[in-house]
Amino acid sequence: MARDMETADFVVIGAGIAGASVAYELSRHGKVIVLEAESSPGYHSTGRSAAIMSENYGSALWSTLVTASRGFLDSPPDGFSDVPLTQPRGAMFLACEGEEDKLSEQAACMARRAARFELMTARQALSHCPIIRADLFTQALHEPDCKDIDTNALLSGYLRALRAAGGKLFTNATVQSLKRENGLWLATTTLGSFSAPVVVNAAGGWAQHVAGMAGLPHRSVNPYRRTAILIDPPAGGDASRWPMTFDVAETFYFKPEAGRIMVSPVDKELSVPCDAQADEMEVAIAVDRMERFTTMQIGRIEHKWGGLRTFAPDNEPVIGADPDAEGFIWLAGQGGNGVMAGPASARLAAHCAVGLSIPQDIAGLGLTYGAVSPGRSCVRGS
Ligand SMILES: Cc1cc2nc3c(=O)[nH]c(=O)nc-3n(C[C@H](O)[C@H](O)[C@H](O)COP(=O)(O)OP(=O)(O)OC[C@H]3O[C@@H](n4cnc5c(N)ncnc54)[C@H](O)[C@@H]3O)c2cc1C
């Protein structure tokens, strides 16, 4: 049944981690409505991630936002969650001969942000992860403070706090049109109409589509599919404490996950926004790489899935006010960092939405509004 028009100070489109976190931040500044197309929040990318927080993952500015998010994830505000949001995991980055410079660059970046790491030989890395083929690698970077994130607790915490502040989440509310009239954005959805002077585009893989609905010129923010599988750990051993293990050439990663091992061939295939599925060829590649770079033999695949990761052409965040549409704020282009950088990126987007200067701690790490602006030339395609 169609609802009467509901008004607010902010309408947020999308209830993945981006939408939920920015809605939480904005609820300090006014009434927030979140519109989600699916029947439950977090159904798309947010519910399909590896749920890792690493300060050595993603582009320069995304990893800066991870550093700025660490405090919230490790020590959320009182009452935010009944369970810890993070658990120790550790990460290991492996370099083959000729790739050692890449590890040194990563170490230098981490040192600048005071993130802890240890460089070691591939043989020494076996003490952390005994299944790697140490003969195929020369060096390793161990990141002891990499954590597993309880994504569900994080998402629920944001949405619970939003409701407590008077905000509302509407599910099954697909935004079908978006237009600006008399200083207000009017969002027409499958559930009814909603309006607010400020709209936040937190639609993940659909961010470009939502901008198009608002009448904006083309913005280059595109979804790419990634495939993941779950396999059984080797019999007889305890895999639960292995670190998240990557190769620096970015051809695979694996991590313990609820008694099993999650593996990804780290595919990045341009996609339309959709309910992404695992790609069968990439499933076979994941198995092959796991058997090539570790001592494991893969039997059954317990589960496989696909998810979208959305990128600007420079892989950096797309956060802030669109220069071509008043009151239209972006929180998009999260790539593989959306969960771990959620808290700081949401604060940044919320500050921008209410006209505040960049949060001091984030500015202190060297990030500017300009560097992440949706108006920068690579996003506008100019
Ligand atoms: C395999 C894989 C592993 C990953 N591992 C990690 C990791 O370890 N750590 C990490 O931090 N990140 C990781 N990521 C990335 C992370 O999942 C994303 O960056 C993050 O979830 C993006 O969140 P989002 O809220 O922008 O998108 P989504 O979670 O996709 O949310 C967008 C929402 O917008 C809604 N929507 C779209 N259009 C409309 C509309 N018209 N009306 C209403 N609602 C709409 C959608 O239904 C959706 O729920 C991984 C991703 C994948 C695929």
Per DSSP, what are the bridge partners of residue 103? none
Helices (H) and strands (E) counted in the chain, each on its own, are 11, 22
Ligand 1 atom index nearest CA of 341: 11
If we measure between CA atoms, which residue out of 245, 226, 207 comes closest to residue 329?
A: 207
C-alpha dist (Å) from residue 189 to 88, 194, 245, 331, 346 = 41, 8, 42, 20, 24
Is 171 touching ligand 1 by the criterion CB < 6 Å? Answer: no
Residues 6+ apart with CB under 8 A from 210: 13, 175, 178, 201, 203
Look at ligand 1, atom 13, and give the residue with the nearest C-alpha.
336
Ligand 1 atom index nearest CA of 244: 8
Look at ligand 1, atom 27, and give the residue with the nearest C-alpha.
204
If we measure between CA atoms, which residue out of 265, 249, 248, 233 comes closest to residue 129?
A: 233
CATH value of 6-48+151-221+314-380 in 3.30.70.890, 1.10.510.10, 3.50.50.60, 3.30.1280.10:
3.50.50.60
**pLDDT above 80 (res 96):** yes
Angle at 334 between CA 333 and CA 337, to 5 degrees: 160
User: From the CA of 338, how far away is ligand 1's center (Å)?
Assistant: 7
* Percent of the chain surpassing pLDDT 90: 97
Distance CA 252, CA 55 (A): 18
C-alpha dist (Å) from residue 246 to 29, 73, 126, 242 = 41, 22, 14, 12
Q: What pLDDT digit, counting tens, does each position of 323-365 carry?
A: 999 999 999 999 999 999 999 999 999 999 999 999 999 999 9
Question: Domain-by-domain residue ranges, the chain?
Answer: 6-48+151-221+314-380, 92-144+223-309
**pLDDT above 90 (res 237):** no
**pLDDT above 60 (res 195):** yes
Look at ligand 1, atom 41, and give the residue with the nearest C-alpha.
175
Query: Is the full-model pTM beyond 0.85?
Result: yes
Q: What is the mean pLDDT of residues 118-134?
A: 97
pLDDT band, very low/low/confident/very high, at 382 (cuts 50, 70, 90) = low
Q: What is the mean pLDDT of residues 191-208?
A: 98
Write the DSSP assignment of 245-314 as a string of letters.
Answer: EEETT-S-EEEEETTEEEEE----EE--SS-----HHHHHHHHHHHHHHBS-----EEEEEEEEEEE-TT
Fold of 92-144+223-309: D-Amino Acid Oxidase; Chain A, domain 2 (3.30.9)
The predicted pLDDT at position 329 comes to 98
If we measure between CA atoms, which residue out of 58, 79, 119 comes closest to residue 69?
A: 58
Look at ligand 1, atom 31, and give the residue with the nearest C-alpha.
16
The predicted pLDDT at position 119 comes to 97
One-letter amino acid for residue 382 of the chain: S
How far is residue 94 CA from its own chain's centroid?
23
